Amino acid sequence: MALAEAGARGRLLRWPRVLLFGDSITEYSFQENGWGAYLAERLVRKCDVVNRGISGYNTRWAKLVLPRLITESTSADSIVAVTIFFGANDSALKELNPKQHVPLEEYAANLKSMVQYLKSVDITADRIILITPPPLQESAWEKACLAKGDKLNRCNATTGQYAQACVQVARECGTDVLDLWTLMQKNQDFSSYLSDGLHLSTKGNSFVAAQLWSRLENKLSALPSLLPYWRDVDHTNPEASLL
């Protein structure tokens, strides 16, 4: 059978998608042992995990980008989950990092705006997970800043305010939330979760992966495996199994 004929006979295979939207902590999540790579491995043959992490971005910029990533007419119906993971840059101190800083009230409004946009393209609240920024280990991040000729431009207490705002937005919008800032600090020495005081270490990636999977597993467990297991393909008439 010619490929064109096979394509005409078979239904278009559309993999459902999980969209990871965030800053560098999301962008780096497909690195070795990253939390995004873990999700992709767990969901292979069930759905695609799409990394849309954009290093250095804040919610002011992200809310402008989101409608360019998802539109009702082209893609929203195939999305089974979306993570929105911002705040590490928004919470930068204004006087030391004015380019990335977003005021707390605007940060909350931007998150709410993104959730409302997703709802407007029929991505329901139960498919949205907000993720707070992780805690900041100030001495390690100060070291990283000094190496670049900068001063310490973030502090953990401020990051915590943004995390609380994220949790509040999730409560108001009816979405799930992963409060990393609080959960990671239940372990008194949370520095082991971070590679440089801000970004995730291998242990931090494992922690995020486990926490997210516990939220996604129930949402996605009913998804079927796409295409039959190879032993179940009729080798004498593969068209019957595969088209």
pLDDT by residue (tens digit) across 37-80?
999 999 999 999 999 999 999 999 999 999 999 987 766 779 99
Q: Dig out the tokens for 121 from the structure.
A: 């393209």
Please give the pLDDT value at position 189.
86
Residues with catalytic roles: 24, 196, 199
Is residue 10 in a domain?
A: no
Q: Dig out the tokens for 19 from the structure.
A: 């969209």
Stated pTM of the model: 0.92
Is residue 235 in a domain?
A: no
pLDDT (mean) for 122-143: 94
For the segment 80-107, what is each residue's pLDDT rounded down to a tens digit?
A: 999 999 999 999 999 999 999 999 999 9
CATH at residue 65: 3.40.50.1110
Residue 122 and residue 82 in contact, taking contact as beta carbons nearer than 8 Å: no
Please give the pLDDT value at position 72.
77
Mean pLDDT estimate for the chain? 93
Distance CA 138, CA 127 (A): 34
User: What's the total number of domains in the chain?
Assistant: 1
Is residue 151 in a domain?
A: yes
Residue 74 domain boundaries: 17-223
**Residue from 155, 53, 62 nearest 107 by CA:** 62
Which secondary structure element, helix H or strand E, spans residue 67, and what is its range? Answer: helix 59-69
For the segment 155-210, what is each residue's pLDDT rounded down to a tens digit?
A: 999 999 999 999 999 999 999 999 999 999 997 789 999 999 999 999 999 999 99
